[in-house]
Amino acid sequence: MTTTTRSACLALDALDPLRPLRDEFALPPGVIYLDGNSLGALPKATAARVQQVVTEEWGIGLIRSWNTAGWIDLAQRIGNKIAPLVGAGENELIAADATSVNLFKVLSTAIALQRLDAPARRVIVSERSNFPTDLYIAETLAREHGLTLTLIDADELPAHLNDELAVLLLTHVNYRTGRMFDMAEVTRAAHAAGALVVWDLAHSAGAVPVHLTRDHADFAVGCGYKYLNGGPGAPAFVWAHPRHTERMDREQLRQPLSGWLGHAAPFEFTTGYRPALGIQRFVCGTPNLLSMAALECGIDVFRRAEAHGGIGALRHKSLALSSLFIELVEARCAGYGLTLVTPRELAHRGSQASFAHLDGTRASGGYPIMQALIARGVIGDFRAPDLLRFGFTPLYTTYADVWDAAEHLTAVLESGEWKAARFNQRAAVT
């Protein structure tokens, strides 16, 4: 039985150097929000900033605001604010489009580079449990280019680093289990085998330290609405190592979505496409300015976090929160069919804890258990077929939140309230 008490958790909160950052968010009273790994909470500054864009920059400035309000440069300015969170340099990363669209761009580019340098390599490898959009994009491109998409479990990776591998596509932190790859080690091994690596940072950016340039990654994409708190459907981001963008500049290589804002001089309005230099070539269409403004508010919270220890302090607290939750749940919920699937090793854990559930009849009660928790004001989510996911966003999650969430989970399991019919009616979004 755990010896941790709620009073001890309150004491940790009182000493937490990141505690002031919770006040940056508009968290509803009576809610314990443990789903920032799916949709980040609303920064208090966002509503006013978006309203300003609507009423002043759009309403009064009209088309002039592309120049006077700096709309035309906003995607790159936001990209430069994201870059330090993932170990990228200035003007190497840009906010644009959706994660799926950006993945299509960079995976297509990686394939094109390999077809120039190593045409005999015909295999794309990804994790079987990777997020579906990554697999769907990879499946489409493999079919279009006559390649083979091979899906593996993480521990099978070494056997597939061979002379047939063209591109390795991995999500840095697995969305289901929270398992985190060692980016430096995997990238080094893939390069030694002659492959390029595309990293999806959707569950990494803003939650765990990432060092894209230092670790010699090739390409990366990421999400703006999870740990970056940019709001539902926020713009994503895309990064390419300078060695690749410099080569693309020299050889006039294109990414496949040659939109007008990826042109070297979009306001010349020429009929022929000439790609912009550097990361700008990975832009396609006109950015959604309202969503961009919201995303910038989420990113700016991280700039204020620098005064409280930055990403290192966020990572330390994230691991402390998830470790506490795991300790409490395993001590208090033993015998109720929960099995931890998130790594216990801190070096391999992202910023979440996932538990599989079997109810004794080999059927999962994960969905109704989560619905019963949500009814109590504890918001996590469910991933089929059997996973309860709990995300820990150190910007606003407290140790007392973790204690109280474990209390509610214990009560749901002990009472059996999750078996009620109303919790077993599956909604469209889980």
Residue 167: beta bridge partners?
Answer: 124, 196
Q: Are residues 190 and 228 in the same domain?
A: yes
Q: Select which of 33, 225, 282, 399 is catalytic.
A: 225
State both tokens at 106. 């960079």
Domain boundary among 248, 282, 300: 300
Q: Are residues 170 and 282 in the same domain?
A: yes
CATH number at residue 222: 3.40.640.10
Backbone angles phi, psi at 8, to 5 degrees: -65, -35
Q: Are residues 195 and 292 in the same domain?
A: yes
Q: Are residues 37 and 111 in the same domain?
A: no
Q: Are residues 153 and 264 in the same domain?
A: yes
**Is 419 designated active site?**
no
Domain boundary among 242, 267, 300: 300
Q: Please state the domain count of the chain.
A: 2
pLDDT in tens, 41-57: 999 999 999 999 999 99
Kindly state the DSSP code that residue 272 receives in the 8-state scheme. S
Given a cut of 50, the residues of the chain with pLDDT beneath it are: none
Question: Containing H/E element for 325?
Answer: helix 310-332
The set of residues, in sequence order, having a beta carbon less than 8 Å from that of 193 and lying 6+ positions away, is 161, 162, 163, 165
Q: Are residues 317 and 292 in the same domain?
A: no
Q: Select which of 33, 131, 237, 399 is catalytic.
A: 131
The confidence score (pLDDT) of residue 252 equals 87
Q: Is residue 63 part of a domain?
A: no
Q: Identify which of 358, 342, 330 has the alpha carbon closest to the alpha carbon of residue 391.
A: 342
State both tokens at 275. 């790609």
Q: Select which of 81, 179, 226, 349 is catalytic.
A: 226
The confidence score (pLDDT) of residue 364 equals 74
The confidence score (pLDDT) of residue 363 equals 64
pLDDT in tens, 292-319: 999 999 999 999 999 999 999 999 999 9
**Is 389 designated active site?**
yes
Q: What is the distance between the alpha carbons of residues 254 and 249, in angstroms, rounded to a whole number?
A: 9
End-to-end CA, the chain: 32
Q: Are residues 176 and 99 in the same domain?
A: yes
Q: Select which of 33, 389, 390, 399 is catalytic.
A: 389
Q: Is residue 392 part of a domain?
A: yes
Domain boundary among 267, 300, 333: 300
Q: Is residue 416 part of a domain?
A: yes
**Is 219 designated active site?**
no
Backbone angles phi, psi at 133, to 5 degrees: -60, -35
The confidence score (pLDDT) of residue 378 equals 98
SS3 assignment, position 202:
coil
CATH number at residue 387: 3.90.1150.10
Q: Are residues 261 and 323 in the same domain?
A: no
Q: Are residues 132 and 246 in the same domain?
A: yes
Q: Is residue 205 part of a domain?
A: yes
Tell me which amino acid residue 306 is: E
State both tokens at 107. 């995976």
**Is 81 designated active site?**
no
Q: Are residues 295 and 404 in the same domain?
A: no
Q: Is residue 65 part of a domain?
A: no
**Is 200 designated active site?**
yes
The confidence score (pLDDT) of residue 360 equals 61
Q: Is residue 235 part of a domain?
A: yes
Q: Is residue 215 part of a domain?
A: yes
Q: Select which of 16, 35, 134, 200 is catalytic.
A: 200
Q: Are residues 374 and 320 in the same domain?
A: yes
Q: Are residues 255 and 115 in the same domain?
A: yes
Q: What is the distance between the alpha carbons of residues 108 and 103, in angstroms, rounded to a whole number?
A: 8
Q: Is residue 1 part of a domain?
A: no
The confidence score (pLDDT) of residue 195 equals 98
pTM: 0.96
Range of the domain at 93: 70-300
